[in-house]
Each structure stands twice: as C-alpha cells, then as structure tokens.
C-alpha cells in the first residue's frame, strides 16, 4: 500500500490502493467529514484478497487532501463528483465499480447518471433517493428525534486543536448514528485518532462538507442509471431509516436491496463484514 497524490483541478487528493491493478477496480467513496481511514485497512485488504483492485481516497478537507478554511470551502458538491473521476484517471482506470457510503453514495449516484461510461457497477450504502425525510417528502420517514435534536443544537464545537478533546468529541459524535450493533470502541478510537493525525485542519474537516452547495442529483434522474446497482442499508439507520433504502432500490432500474441487520448510519462494522464482502465480490464479478 502506497499513498499517492493526485491532481484534481486546483486540489490534490491523497489516495491509496490495495491489490493488483490487473484486477477489477473498486473505488471507495467516503461519507461527509470522514477521511479514507474509515475504510479500514483490513476491510480493504479483504476485498483485494478476493481479486479486486481497491482504491480509497481522502475527500477534500480530510486526511492529506487539500484543505480549506473552516466555514469557507473553496469548492462545491459538484467538485467532489469530478474528484472521483480524477482519482480514477490518476490510476489510469477507464471505468470502475463504485462503492459509496452516505454522501459518497450520493456522489456515486451522480456519476452513474452523468458519467455512465466510467461506471461498471454501483454499490450504494446508507443513502436515499432524496435525502432526509420530512414534511416535504412524506413518502420518506424522518431522522430519529435524537439526531434531529443534534442537528438543531447550537452547542459550541470542541477545541479542535486539542487532540484528546477532539478525538473524544468525534467519537461521541458517532453515537447518535449507531444502530443496534454494539460499537467496537477500541477500533473506533484507532480510526478516529488516525484521521485526526493525518488531517491538517480538523475543524475544516468537521465543518465544510455540511455547508457545500451544488452537486445534488434530481430524484427523477435515478431512472437513468444503467449500471448494475446493489443497495446496502442498515435496518436500524437513524438518519435515513430503512424505507429510504427500499425507495432507492425501487427507483433505480434493476437495483437489488440487501438489508444489514442492526446496522445504523455508519461504515460497515465488523459484524457485517462477511455479508458486505460477499455481496460486493459477487456484485463486481467480471
């Protein structure tokens, strides 16, 4: 595994690959405010061991990729979409299987519509055809009251320059997104600490993705997706409850939905790795 820096417009993106470049490529696209460290080494190696060339990368404002002042991202949501293409170009890959989580799955959906020639298949986890439900989307259930309260809170952020305090705050911030599966706190701490140590401006990483403009895909365009699509969704997702996954699978032609029992809105915990890896390997088979 060797990190490399890839030019994407005016930004540099840090990426890392597992496995042989002669194997089918899977590009992992992360969620908001998360560096590529959340795609755990062992998980990536497991997919690579099944004959896949697995690429993960730091989104802008995370890890070693280009950062911007907290509260003033110098890019849009549309730039995050084209960044994924830049990563593929950096590895000389014409088309790849895309596996996105949450915001990353939104990016993957957009790529499936706007750049179908670059997409061999889609795996969309913990996402929705239209974002959080509410009065304007009565067909989609809203987030949990606990999360709604969290997003409405005006509590001051921690001192992001204080390593211990920041790590504790980020770990505590994961709890409202949990499902029914107990978290591995030691594993979480290792991932969050690694992210903190690799990210130049943690305040920006925890702020800027939430205030981006542009890049949203119109719900009606999901029907244009032609790539084979696998939808993975936790049955205990508090942000985008399970009916969001069901709706997404209905609206993408031919999509297949796999329920991840007890999982919340999170990167796949170890408890579901067997299911996730088996499904992805089958879905991305040549």
Contact between residue 68 and residue 74 where contact means Cβ atoms under 8 Å apart? yes
Report the distance separating Cα 229 and Cα 98, nearest Å: 10
Query: Which of 109, 125, 99 has its CA nearest to residue 223?
Result: 109
Contact between residue 233 and residue 265 where contact means Cβ atoms under 8 Å apart? no
Task: Enumerate the active-site residues.
Answer: 102, 237, 265
- Kindly state the tokens that stand for 193: 């600490």
H-helix segments, 199-267: 202-205, 242-251
- Kindly state the tokens that stand for 195: 């992210």
Please list, in sequence order, all residues whose beta carbon lies within 8 angstroms of the beta carbon of residue 282, skipping any fewer than 6 positions away: none
Residue 170 to residues 51, 78, 193, 208, Cα–Cα distance (Å): 34, 26, 9, 15
Query: Which of 114, 79, 76 has its CA nearest to residue 218?
Result: 114
């Amino acid at each position: 595994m060797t990190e490399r820096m890839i030019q994407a417009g005016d930004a540099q993106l840090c990426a890392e690959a597992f496995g042989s470049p002669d194997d089918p490529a899977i590009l992992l696209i992360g969620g908001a405010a998360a560096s590529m460290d959340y795609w755990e080494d062992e998980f990536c190696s497991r997919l690579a061991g099944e004959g896949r060339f697995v690429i993960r990368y730091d989104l802008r404002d995370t890890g070693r990729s280009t950062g911007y002042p907290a509260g003033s991202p110098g890019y849009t949501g549309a730039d995050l979409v084209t960044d994924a293409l830049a990563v593929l170009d950096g590895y000389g890959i014409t088309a790849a299987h895309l596996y996105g989580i949450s915001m990353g799955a939104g990016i993957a959906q957009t790529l499936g519509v706007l750049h179908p020639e670059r997409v061999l298949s889609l795996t969309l986890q913990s996402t929705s055809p239209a974002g959080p439900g509410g009065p304007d989307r009565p067909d989609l259930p809203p987030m949990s009251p606990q999360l709604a309260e969290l997003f409405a809170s005006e509590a001051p952020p921690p001192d992001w320059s204080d390593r211990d305090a920041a790590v504790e705050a980020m770990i505590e911030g994961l709890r409202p997104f949990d499902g029914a599966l107990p978290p591995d706190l030691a594993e979480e701490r290792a991932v969050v600490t690694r992210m903190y140590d690799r990210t130049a401006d943690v305040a920006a990483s925890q702020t800027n993705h939430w205030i981006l403009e542009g890049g949203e895909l119109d719900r009606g365009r999901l029907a244009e997706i032609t790539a084979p699509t696998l939808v993975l969704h936790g049955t205990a997702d508090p942000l985008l409850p399970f009916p969001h996954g069901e709706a997404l699978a209905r609206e993408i032609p031919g999509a297949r939905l796999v329920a991840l029992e007890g999982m919340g809105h999170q990167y796949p915990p170890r408890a579901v790795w067997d299911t996730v890896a088996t499904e992805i390997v089958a879905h991305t088979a040549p």
